[in-house]
């Protein structure tokens, strides 16, 4: 019998292993289907907008009825069925329209899975970093394998892998002993308190900027690697190196002694450094080296945003607070990042795109300094990060 910690680690491993291909290789799939950079950006924005609209509803429902496990299962099944529309779209005369429909449905079901799973882990009192690290490991190893496999079987493979992964996810979910997050006693009162918290609004502002940068930079990374004459297998290898660095930080973050506001600022700085490296050089060994910095950035921001959202949330609003940060913060930023990023790829090229991406993360770092001016004791953060 697995312990609760091992159950959650397995859940995250399956979740990230199944979704890595869609995250990393979606745009090369769309490129193979004949879409332009602007059309890729539109698809990316639709994915985010659909999720942005759906996430608060899922989060409130999970908090109100205490059925987090059921919500996760519905999300997994619904998104798996929608994923099958993507490869089907390759066989019609207007694939773009099929991809639009697929993106709306896919994201509406997919979007709540991560924030709801995060809220369950935090509500259980487990060390989030040590659970999330298993997701990073799965993400990197899976992308490395997919990078080789799609060169043989084609990019539609990423969606079939997702479908299989969601089936395994549902069976893994059934084994959880404590399936639900904390429940709010008064959603209306606590929800108002959440959105009136100035530090929570500051976190949302940082999330918007990081979301815009990560959406544009991450979704076009596979296109960037092709542009510098590196194959899809090299994209997979780069993602693996990045996620190994992520996992190390997730596991060892507590030993750094950084409070969450420090993680937020350092994460934004590391993002800026890595994106600038993409912009100024296409030298493959340098790109591989900077993946370590990029992985550190992802982990620091992930730890800071999830834990700050949890600390700032009123009692019982664990799911809602994560969903609001993911939707209104990261979500709105990602819409802008996808649309503007796709347009910039057409106008200035994929490499110069990263100058604009770096500017967004630099501004996020500046905004994050506001946490040092506030009465931070109100957040309840009396201990270093976990």
For 4-379, CATH number?
1.20.1250.20
Residue bearing tokens 């959105």: 195
DSSP-derived secondary structure letter, 330: I
Which of 359, 326, 346, 78 shows the shortest CA–CA distance to 220? 346
DSSP-derived secondary structure letter, 4: H
Confidence of residue 115 (pLDDT cuts 50, 70, 90): confident
Rounded distance between C-alpha atoms, residue 42 and residue 336, angstroms: 10
| Residue 383 confidence (pLDDT) above 60 | no
Rounded distance between C-alpha atoms, residue 66 and residue 69, angstroms: 9
Query: Across the chain, which distance is largest between two alpha carbons, in Å?
Result: 58
Burial of 285 (0-12, 13-18, 19+ CB in 10 A): exposed
Q: Please compute Rg for the chain using Cα positions.
A: 19
Beta-carbon neighbour count of residue 228 at 10 Å?
Answer: 15
φ, ψ at 22 (rounded to 5°)? -65, -40
Distance of CA 199 to the CA centre of its chain: 22
**CB 337, CB 215: distance < 8 Å:** yes
pLDDT tens profile 66-104: 677 888 889 999 999 999 999 999 888 889 999 999 999
According to the model, what pLDDT value does residue 58 have? 74
| Residue 378 confidence (pLDDT) above 70 | no
Most trustworthy range by pLDDT among 244-248, 293-297, 321-325, 378-382 = 293-297
According to the model, what pLDDT value does residue 253 have? 66
| Residue 155 confidence (pLDDT) above 50 | yes
Beta-carbon neighbour count of residue 173 at 10 Å?
Answer: 21
**CB 222, CB 27: distance < 8 Å:** yes
Higher-confidence residue: 163 or 207? 163
Which of 307, 55, 63, 71 shows the shortest CA–CA distance to 173? 71
Q: What is the mean pLDDT of the chain?
A: 81
Rounded distance between C-alpha atoms, residue 67 and residue 367, angstroms: 36
pLDDT tens profile 231-272: 788 888 888 888 888 888 887 766 666 788 888 899 999 999
Rounded distance between C-alpha atoms, residue 140 and residue 146, angstroms: 10
Instruction: Locate 180 and state its tokens.
Output: 């639900």
Confidence of residue 207 (pLDDT cuts 50, 70, 90): confident
Instruction: Locate 27 and state its tokens.
Output: 């745009």
Rounded distance between C-alpha atoms, residue 124 and residue 120, angstroms: 6
pLDDT tens profile 210-233: 989 988 898 889 889 989 988 788
The three state secondary structure string of 11-45 is HHHHHHHHHHHHHHHHHHHHHHCCCCHHHHHHHHH
Residue bearing tokens 């110069």: 352
**CB 320, CB 194: distance < 8 Å:** yes
Residue bearing tokens 């996620």: 243
**CB 242, CB 225: distance < 8 Å:** no
According to the model, what pLDDT value does residue 246 have? 85
Confidence of residue 317 (pLDDT cuts 50, 70, 90): low
Handedness of CA 189, 192, 197, 201 (dihedral sign): positive
Rounded distance between C-alpha atoms, residue 367 and residue 354, angstroms: 20
136: which residues sit within 8 A by CB, 6+ positions away? 16, 243, 244, 246, 247, 250, 295, 299
pLDDT tens profile 191-205: 555 666 778 788 888
């Amino acid at each position: 019998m697995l312990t609760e910690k091992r159950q959650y680690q397995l859940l995250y491993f399956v979740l990230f292993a199944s979704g890595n291909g869609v995250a990393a290789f979606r745009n090369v799939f769309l490129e193979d289907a004949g879409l332009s950079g602007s059309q890729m950006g539109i698809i990316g924005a639709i994915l985010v907008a659909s999720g942005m609209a759906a996430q608060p509803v899922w989060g409130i429902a999970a908090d109100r009825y205490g059925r987090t496990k059921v919500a996760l299962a519905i999300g997994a099944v619904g998104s798996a069925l929608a994923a099958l529309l993507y490869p089907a779209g390759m066989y019609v005369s207007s694939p773009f329209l099929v991809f639009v429909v697929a993106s709306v449905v896919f994201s509406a079901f997919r979007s709540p899975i991560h924030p709801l799973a995060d809220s369950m882990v935090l509500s259980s009192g487990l060390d989030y970093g040590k659970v999330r690290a298993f997701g990073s490991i799965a993400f990197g190893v899976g992308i490395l394998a997919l990078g080789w496999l799609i060169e043989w079987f084609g990019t539609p493979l990423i969606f079939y892998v997702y479908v299989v992964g969601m089936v395994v996810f549902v069976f893994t979910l059934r084994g959880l002993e404590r399936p639900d997050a904390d429940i709010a006693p008064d959603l209306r009162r606590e929800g108002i308190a959440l959105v009136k918290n100035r530090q929570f609004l500051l976190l949302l502002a940082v999330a918007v900027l990081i979301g815009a940068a990560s959406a544009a930079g991450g979704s076009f990374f596979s296109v960037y690697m092709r542009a510098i004459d590196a194959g899809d297998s090299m994209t997979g290898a780069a993602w693996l190196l990045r996620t190994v660095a992520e996992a190390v930080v997730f596991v060892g973050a507590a030993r750094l002694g950084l409070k969450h506001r420090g993680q937020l600022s350092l994460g934004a700085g590391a993002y800026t450094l890595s994106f600038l490296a993409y912009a100024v050089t296409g030298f493959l060994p340098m790109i591989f080296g900077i993946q370590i910095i990029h992985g550190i950035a992802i982990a620091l921001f992930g730890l800071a945003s999830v834990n700050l959202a949890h600390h700032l949330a009123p009692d019982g609003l664990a799911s809602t607070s994560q969903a609001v940060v993911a939707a209104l913060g990261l979500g709105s930023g990602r819409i802008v990042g996808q649309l503007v990023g796709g347009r910039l790829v057409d106008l200035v090229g994929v490499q110069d795109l990263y100058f604009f991406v770096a500017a967004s993360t630099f501004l996020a770092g500046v905004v994050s300094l506001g946490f040092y001016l506030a009465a931070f004791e109100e957040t309840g953060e009396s201990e270093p990060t976990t």
